[in-house]
C-alpha cells in the first residue's frame, strides 16, 4: 500500500505537468481564461499561473521523492485552498478551463491519497492560507485583450448614455463628483444608464492624470473601485501633484495599481465626444436617451438631472 502511494506521489505530479504543458501549447479551450499572482503594479507583471503550476508540480515531485511527508501534505493542503478559490472564480465568471479543472483534480487526488486525520489542524491551517493567498493576490481575466484594444472608461449597460466631463484640477468638479457617487452607483447597478467618465483637459496637468486613470482601468475595471480611484486622483490634484513620477508614487502609496498601454485609440474616441457635445467647461454632464440630449452644468443642476433618471 505504501509502495503504491509512493509511486502515485511521483507519477501524479508528472501528469499534472503534462496537463499544463499541453494547455500552454494548445491555446484553444483556455484562451479566454488567464491569471497571475502578485501583480504589484507598474514594472511588476506578477507570476503567470502556468509557470506557477509547473513549478509547484516540480516541487511536489521532489518532496515526494525525498519522502518529506509532512511538508508534502502541507503543500497539498495549501493547493486545495488555492484550487477552491480558482474554481469559485471560474464559477463567478461563468468561464471554465477544462485543463485547469483536471489539474485541480490531480492535486485533490494527491491530497486525499496523503491525508492523515492526525494532522487535520495543520491541514485546515494550510488550506485557509492557500485560499487567502489567492484571494488577496490573484487577478484573472476572462476576455482576450489586444495590444491596441479600445479601453473606454464606461460602466453599466443601460440604454441611457451619461457622459461626465470633469477636470481633476477644477474646484467645482472636486466638490460635485463625490456627491454623484451614490446616484451613479444606482444607475449602473440597476442597468438604467451607461456612465462614461471623460477627463477634460481644462488645466495643463490633466492629460497626465487622464492617462493614468486609463492605466488604472487597464489593471482593474470595476465601478466601485473606479469611484475610489477618482477620489484619490482628485486628492492628488488638491496636493498640487503635477509631475508624473510623484503621481506614480502617490498612487502606489494609496495601493492603486496601474498598467501602461497605448491610450491613443481611447483618447481619439473620447475627443469625438468632446467635439460632439461641444464641451468647453467643467463640470458638465450630458444625458442622451437615444432621442433627446440634455446638457447640464454645475453641481445642483447635474445632481437634479441624474436623480430624475432614477
Is 2-141's fold the same as 154-309's? no
pLDDT at 140: 67
Q: Could you confirm whether domain 154-309 is CATH 3.30.365.10?
A: no
User: Is the separation of the CB atoms in 187 and 156 below 8 Å?
Assistant: yes
pLDDT at 141: 58
pLDDT at 160: 95
pTM for the model: 0.57
pLDDT in tens, the chain (310 residues): 668 889 999 999 999 899 888 776 654 444 445 666 765 444 445 677 888 889 999 999 999 999 999 999 999 999 999 999 988 888 877 777 788 889 999 999 999 999 989 899 999 999 999 999 888 877 765 555 444 568 999 999 999 999 999 999 999 999 999 999 999 999 999 999 999 999 999 999 999 999 999 999 988 899 999 999 999 999 999 999 999 999 999 999 999 988 888 899 999 999 999 999 999 999 999 999 988 999 999 889 999 999 999 8
pLDDT at 38: 62
Domain ranges of the chain: 2-141, 154-309
pLDDT at 4: 85
CA distances from 5 to 16, 123, 219, 230, 240 (A): 16, 19, 44, 55, 65
DSSP 244-268: HHHHHHHHHHTT--------HHHHH
CATH architecture of the domain formed by 2-141:
Up-down Bundle (1.20)
Sheet holding 284-288, edge to edge: 154-155, 193-199, 160-166, 284-288, 293-297
Angle of helix 299-309 relative to helix 171-189, nearest 10 degrees, comes to: 0
Distance between CA 294 and CA 193 in Å, rounded? 14
Amino acid at each position: 500500500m505504501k509502495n503504491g502511494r509512493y509511486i502515485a506521489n511521483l507519477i501524479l505530479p508528472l501528469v499534472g505537468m503534462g496537463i499544463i504543458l499541453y494547455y500552454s501549447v494548445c491555446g484553444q479551450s483556455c484562451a479566454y481564461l488567464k491569471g497571475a499572482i502578485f501583480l504589484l503594479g507598474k514594472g511588476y507583471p506578477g507570476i503567470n499561473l502556468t509557470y506557477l503550476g509547473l513549478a509547484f508540480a516540480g516541487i511536489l515531485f521532489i518532496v515526494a521523492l525525498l519522502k518529506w511527508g509532512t511538508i508534502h501534505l502541507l503543500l497539498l493542503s495549501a493547493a486545495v485552498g488555492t484550487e477552491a478559490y480558482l474554481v469559485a472564480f471560474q464559477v463567478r465568471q461563468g468561464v471554465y478551463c477544462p485543463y485547469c479543472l483536471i489539474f485541480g483534480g490531480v492535486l485533490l487526488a494527491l491530497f486525499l491519497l496523503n491525508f492523515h486525520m492526525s494532522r487535520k489542524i495543520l491541514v485546515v491551517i494550510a488550506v485557509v492560507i492557500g485560499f487567502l493567498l489567492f484571494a488577496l493576490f490573484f487577478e484573472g481575466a476572462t476576455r482576450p485583450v489586444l495590444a491596441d484594444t479600445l479601453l473606454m472608461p464606461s460602466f453599466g449597460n443601460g440604454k441611457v448614455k451619461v457622459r461626465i466631463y470633469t477636470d481633476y484640477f477644477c474646484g467645482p468638479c472636486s466638490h460635485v463628483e463625490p456627491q454623484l457617487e451614490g446616484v451613479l452607483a444606482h444607475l449602473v447597478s440597476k442597468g438604467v444608464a451607461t456612465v462614461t467618465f471623460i477627463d477634460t483637459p481644462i488645466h495643463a496637468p490633466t492629460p497626465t492624470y487622464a492617462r493614468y486613470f486609463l492605466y488604472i482601468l487597464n489593471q482593474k475595471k470595476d465601478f466601485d473601485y473606479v469611484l475610489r480611484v477618482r477620489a484619490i486622483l482628485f486628492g492628488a490634484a488638491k496636493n498640487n501633484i503635477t509631475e508624473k513620477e510623484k503621481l506614480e508614487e502617490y498612487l502606489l502609496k494609496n495601493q492603486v495599481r496601474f498598467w501602461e498601454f497605448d491610450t491613443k485609440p481611447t483618447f481619439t474616441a473620447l475627443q469625438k465626444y468632446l467635439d460632439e457635445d461641444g464641451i468647453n467647461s467643467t463640470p458638465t454632464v450630458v444625458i442622451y436617451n437615444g432621442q433627446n440630449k440634455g446638457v447640464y452644468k454645475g453641481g445642483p443642476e447635474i445632481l437634479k438631472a441624474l436623480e430624475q433618471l432614477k
